[in-house]
Structure 1
Amino acid sequence: MDEFWVFGYGSLMWNPGFPYEERSLGRAFGYHRSLCVRSWVHRGTQENPGLVLGLDRGGSCKGVAFKVASDHWPETLDYLRERELVTNVYLERQVPVQLADRRSVSAVTYVVDRRHVQYSGAITPAEAARVVGSAVGRSGPNIAYLTNTVAHLREAGIRDHWLEKVESLIPVADRSA
């Protein structure tokens, strides 16, 4: 492997947690961003699961690609596996990504395992808002995850109308949680 890229589509975009030498907007192909993972650790509990993003099959997804220097590959991969594979709801994959400057790279990312018990499948924005509005996990309130993600997507010039709809259905007073 000549280069090591990581593709982020949710909190990894704004909180990568590893050193990188290049950051670029990019589009991953074959998957789309979806609020489809019932979070039992970071944004909810088994008794009151939250919802976090996964890459689900089909379509494409705009996000952020990070190029990691070769001397940081091993610890970055270890870190990502510890962060993303807590309950094994994600599968580590290499996906094609087209960067903003039109370069094509292969990037490590984490896609949802549709066979896993934490996969929520398709839910309505109203149901997602209800879940997000009531869940809290090790990393804080589920609402904070959603609002931070939507804000960072907007900041990057990425519109995700479905996530924006979910956020709009959460009472404004609750969004500051």
Structure 2
Amino acid sequence: MAINEENAPVEEEFWLFGYGSLIWKPPPHFDRRIPGWVTGYVRRFWQVRTYHRGTPTAPGRVVTLISRSYWSTLSDPHPSPPDDKVWGVAYRIEPAHVASVKEYLDIREINGYTIHYTPFHPASELHPGETKKEGPIKTLVYIGTPENDQFVGPQDPQELAEHIYRSRGPSGLNRDYLWGLERSLDELSPESGDEHVRDLAERVRGVAAREEGKGEGEREVVGRDVRREEHEGHHAFGRRESVDEVEETEKTGV
């Protein structure tokens, strides 16, 4: 796990930014949850996942953050986000549990993610049970950078949707991760939706509708493929007592 110490926070409070599954599957031992955004990044389903939502032989796809300056040099089939905000959630971890939560996250964020720090801007309007804090807040975030071998870069959106539809791992279907992220982002704020996520979610719903319309014989072939992938990935994941303990986040994310 590489660590980018530049701009590392020196204050006693420890805050974590989640932009993927951490939005709806929070870390343990947090005492504050605040929706908001970071700037200078673009969220994309460009990170391979051989655990949780995929297998070593059939990797799934999860989100990572890409610096906007690097992203602008790429040929991305999806258009530029309308603004510079990437929405997510910041969690404050109880001081007595910071070390154990960091250890938990290092396990959860294996497979290509590294530690960075970035300013987080709290939303002005909160839901019941959420607490307001003036920002920005220095937050830790796990990012799959372009230098890691799990980063795949720009992909054709329809091919990516087909891949996500087919992929699954011990934590479940890859498409459930995508749909969970879409739903969780929409619930944060009227302006927190992500067009990249929304477009992929719609495409995968279209693939699902098409597959559900196939004949029984075709569905059985698909089912055999899925079961084979599950079997191939079984032993690699058997080392963990609980899949939930290592469910990816995006993370601080994926």
Q: Given the two structures, how large is their TM-score scaled by the length of structure 2?
A: 0.64
| Counterpart for residue 98 of structure 2 | 73
Distance 2:27 2:34 in 1: 16
Amino acid in structure 2 at the alignment position of 1:77: K
Q: Which has the higher strand share?
A: 1
SS of residue paired to 1:25: strand
Contact preservation (8 Å) 2:65, 2:145: no
Distance 1:99 1:17 in 2: 18
Distance 2:19 2:156 in 1: 20
In structure 2, stretches of 5+ residues that fail to align are: 1-10, 69-83, 125-133, 213-254
Aligned-residue offset at 1:29? 2.5
Distance 2:159 2:28 in 1: 34
In structure 1, stretches of 5+ residues that fail to align are: none
Contact preservation (8 Å) 1:49, 1:131: no
| Counterpart for residue 22 of structure 1 | 32
Amino acid in structure 1 at the alignment position of 2:17: F
Q: Deviation per CA, 1:2-49, whole angstroms, max 9, x where unpaired?
A: 211000001001101312111111212332211110111111112211
| Counterpart for residue 151 of structure 1 | 183
Match of 1:170 among 204, 211, 226: 204
Aligned-residue offset at 1:128? 1.6
| Counterpart for residue 53 of structure 1 | 63
Aligned-residue offset at 1:173? 7.8
Identify which of structures 1 and 2 has the higher relative contact order when contacts are C-alpha pairs closer than 8 Å and 6+ apart. 2
Aligned-residue offset at 1:129? 0.4
Amino acid in structure 1 at the alignment position of 2:139: A
1:121/1:173 CA distance change after superposition, 3 Å: closer
Contact preservation (8 Å) 2:165, 2:204: yes
Q: Deviation per CA, 1:39-82, whole angstroms, max 9, x where unpaired?
A: 11111112211110111112541110011121111111111111
Q: Once structures 1 and 2 are overlaid, which stretch shifts more, 37-46 or 57-66?
A: 57-66
Indicate the RMSD between aligned Cα atoms, in angstroms.
Answer: 1.8
Aligned-residue offset at 1:153? 0.8
Aligned-residue offset at 1:142? 0.1
Distance 2:67 2:179 in 1: 24
Distance 1:76 1:33 in 2: 24
Distance 1:172 1:148 in 2: 16
Structure 1 or 2, whichever has the larger Rg, is 2
The number of equivalent residue pairs is: 174
Contact preservation (8 Å) 2:87, 2:185: no
Distance 1:136 1:23 in 2: 29
Aligned-residue offset at 1:135? 0.3
Contact preservation (8 Å) 2:165, 2:207: no
Contact preservation (8 Å) 1:125, 1:162: no
Q: Which runs of 4+ in 1 moved over 6 A?
A: none
